[in-house]
Structure 1
């Protein structure tokens, strides 16, 4: 399960490391998937990925988080970055490589066994090792598992011991010079999985994992949590006379503060076991459309105005605190809930599938950020044709009244 580093071109600087990237506001992060149809069987090709990366670079994104290690997409991403650097030596884009980890019998009709792992995990790890050695100028982080330990992932979650096993394996490969020594290893998981909440997660295996990773990558989704903890949402009694916009802005501030509290909870737990290392955000985001839990029939949280507010608030806070935030996500991907086109999972992107910048990026369209850039051959324009009043027709005020 090892692979000696190979000699590759010096097209991209080897001097940049994860330690230098993470926490540096000049190197913004984002979660990236380039799928353009409602099926992952249709992979984005190198040209399509290059289109996407140019768009992301224009808004100062320089590090992307990927998930699809077992698919052609990640190879195309690495090829695309290499080609873009060849075309423009000043082009910079780095990768946080996601390794999918799940348990025995995951995604089958047989009951999952959470303390045993899928045989596929070893193949995923080996692929990550091979790619990291082939592209050391680009891949700066390996993330072992994506929300792989959180217990609500009932179809596939694993115990921390399984993640720890593979993190330790990769760290040993670094020590024996079978992986680049500056490559950082982490796991990207819900704040609960990192000890930021319920005591059931506070185990010795988790403590060992926290000590083994180079940094902690946590996920926080206030838009999801407000369904279960409505006290963070709604309108307070003393806000009743505010304008609709001010009511919504106040709710969005509470959502941001909720995410910060989850971050602080993880930091607090980490320090309680005698560890002090970087903690960054592997995922957070806000969907713009939903016809189930978060739309008009639910909490009324999903729309472009609220999503823009959350994006700005999280970028502002994370930049100030020098925390890297891999915002979820760059582009809409409608394979995630192909049976329900209006489902929330399809609409977390900053740019939709019609090559329209959502409200969070309207100002970038105005100032010419995307001039000369296209997606699927289309220039980047504004959603709602740039008409604010039309956008606001889809913005709803939360129903619930909160006690002050």
Structure 2
């Protein structure tokens, strides 16, 4: 089912945006209005759809900048739900909380879902879709939330907001445990990362296509978006072969993915706009820090150097 036709949206490019710069992070110092404006003006010539991960203070600034500066972006707004159960299978040892913290997280999640609804109604011309969580059901997550609870979140948002509702998750859970959720959401959102699964760049777009088709085959009556797909440019070897990541490979995957997206008319939110040094471990080559199409100082990596030169 064609996503853009179903929701009466124009086809355009999409990117994941989180604007935390050096010395900033969620729960700490956040980007200022001026910094967010600088980012959005940098992104505006290349992308129409932006994905925001949480209805937090940073997202509030983004919405304010778009509204006040009359920028043409359309937003997929998410609520970043936190652990409501322990996940003893988390490979890096996260995901273990005491009962008091889990109880607090449940309360915080309810509040976030309400904020998602409120902001959807406050910015109906900017926010075009709503996500009730991010990678909270996959086996390796450190913020596990039961599927039944995510179903409840989706149903609650659908009752009180007009935008289509989804849940952003790795493609694997959609093949089994998320079937009850698939029937509730308005569209399915999958994440596909060939490089995390030790695929070479020459295998990448075929692997992404296979991931998409596996989910689409199960749910032919549902529209599907790719809400994360990207290619890191550095790695210390933690989960990603350092020989597979560099700016040339990122450029190749981006080009292939955008051609695939346009040919199949599938929305693809490339991960991500900017590098974020707060992520992952302290190691400077930690792969979590190096997914951006731009560096943390906002200078363009190879793929965007070519795009900017073409634009000029």
Task: Give the TM-score normalised by structure 1.
Answer: 0.69
Q: Which residue in the other structure is 1:101 paired with? A: 81
Alignment of 1:143-292 (within 5 A): 143-153=131-141, 155-173=142-160, 179=161, 181=162, 183-195=163-175, 202-203=176-177, 206-226=178-198, 232-233=199-200, 252-271=201-220, 276-292=221-237
Structure 1: stretches of 5+ with no match in the other structure:
1-15, 86-90, 174-178, 196-201, 227-231, 234-251, 370-404
Q: Distance in 2 between matches of 1:119 and 1:108?
A: 18
Query: How far is the alpha carbon of 1:299 from its aligned partner?
Result: 4.8
Alignment of 1:69-108 (within 5 A): 69=55, 71-85=56-70, 91-104=71-84
What is the root-mean-square deviation of aligned Cα atoms in Å?
2.4
Q: Which residue in the other structure is 2:275 paired with? A: 332
Say if 2:307 is the partner of 1:358: no
Q: Distance in 2 between matches of 1:117 and 1:351?
A: 33
Are the aligned partners of 1:294 and 1:300 in contact in 2 as well (CA < 8 Å)? no
- Cα deviations across residues 85-122 of structure 1 (Å, max 9, x unaligned)? 1xxxxx411111111123336655438999x9722110
1:32 pairs, out of 13, 17, 26, with: 17
Distance change in 2, residues 1:117/1:47 (3 Å): closer
Query: How far is the alpha carbon of 1:159 from its aligned partner?
Result: 2.2
Q: Secondary structure at the match of 1:20?
A: coil
Distance change in 2, residues 1:112/1:360 (3 Å): farther
Are the aligned partners of 2:171 and 2:215 in contact in 1 as well (CA < 8 Å)? yes
Query: How far is the alpha carbon of 1:45 from its aligned partner?
Result: 1.1
Q: Distance in 2 between matches of 1:145 and 1:51?
A: 27
- Cα deviations across residues 116-146 of structure 1 (Å, max 9, x unaligned)? 9722110110111111111111111110110
Q: Which residue in the other structure is 2:38 paired with? A: 51
Are the aligned partners of 2:133 and 2:167 in contact in 1 as well (CA < 8 Å)? yes
Are the aligned partners of 1:283 and 1:326 in contact in 2 as well (CA < 8 Å)? yes
Which of structure 1's runs of 4+ aligned residues deviate more than 6 A? 111-114
Q: Which residue in the other structure is 1:65 paired with? A: 51
Q: Distance in 1 between matches of 2:105 and 2:173?
A: 17
Q: Distance in 1 between matches of 2:294 and 2:249?
A: 15
Are the aligned partners of 1:294 and 1:301 in contact in 2 as well (CA < 8 Å)? no
Aligned residues: 298
Distance change in 2, residues 1:207/1:109 (3 Å): closer
Distance change in 2, residues 1:38/1:260 (3 Å): farther
Q: Distance in 2 between matches of 1:94 and 1:18?
A: 16
Q: Which residue in the other structure is 2:90 paired with? A: none
Distance change in 2, residues 1:269/1:17 (3 Å): closer
Are the aligned partners of 2:20 and 2:30 in contact in 1 as well (CA < 8 Å)? yes
Q: Distance in 2 between matches of 1:48 and 1:112?
A: 37
Structure 2: stretches of 5+ with no match in the other structure:
87-94
Task: Give the TM-score normalised by structure 2.
Answer: 0.88
